[in-house]
Amino acid sequence: MAEEDLVRLDINGIFAIITLNNPKKFNALTQSLYYRLASLLREAEDNSDVYVTVLIGEGAFFSAGADLKGKPPSMEDMLSRPHWLPKLVNNNIDVARAFYSHSKILVTALNGPVIGLSAALISHSDFIYAVSDAWLMTPFTSLGLVAEGGSSVAFVHRMGQGKANEALLLGRKIPVSELAQVGFVNKVFESKSNFREQVMEYLQQTFGEHLVKSSLLGTKDLMRRRLVREQDEQAPLEMFGGLDRFCQGIPQAKMGEALSKSKASRL
């Protein structure tokens, strides 16, 4: 399937709808697909007819995070700073900034679980809706990484210090019921059937003619301007923290262990 089909953009009136459409891989995203996601956010940003950008997935998962399968780096590149630097700038800074600086109202509709970098990115949403069996997990520390995607700021801001500690320090799988209790998730839809249609109907009612669209975006800008500045300071720190660990070979070793356990469990 072509990349434009794996992450696609549809415009419906004031709504730009970005769909993660690779259910066979649980909507795991390669580096190039994260870049496409960022590009589509910028395309929605530049569309003067759009006031609300909606992210949703197809299938059982919203996104399983980064797709780690593919050709591994050579032994020479494995611990090479020049090899990892452009990859982390693209994945950790470019896509994160596309999310946290997005000027339109950003809505994420969690049709299922969300993991890793994808979970970090959705924390920049203005509104998050979810099915009742969704959950979030950011296993960065168990993989020898540090917080990424702006999550070291956004998780604390959106779910509070205590729950952010559970998510980022412990890598705990957090069910949607707890995410709703702390305000990370705005609304839970009990029925999974026709989730996309339910969300779009709710959004059409919520963002109706009673709202002045320019005031909507102007107020968002005022509310998030300080956070954007903070994220601009924090994003390079997250990126260099990850870069240092890749250059030491820590994540590579942990991911290798996980892959070996997975293969052994299938024997």
Residue type, 75: M
Query: How far is Cα 157 from Cα 181, in angstroms, rounded to an integer?
Result: 14
Query: How far is Cα 265 from Cα 248, in angstroms, rounded to an integer?
Result: 28
Question: Crossing angle, helix 213-248 and helix 250-265, to 10 degrees?
Answer: 90
List Cα–Cα distances, 124 to 44, 79, 151, 194, 237, in angstroms: 16, 31, 8, 25, 18
Closest CA to 155 of 129, 128, 187, 188: 128
58 is catalytic: no
Residue 142: Cβ within 10 Å count: 12
Q: Hey, which residues does 63 pair with through a beta bridge?
A: 114
Which candidate in 76, 148, 166, 190 is catalytic? 148
**Hey, which residues are catalytic here?**
148
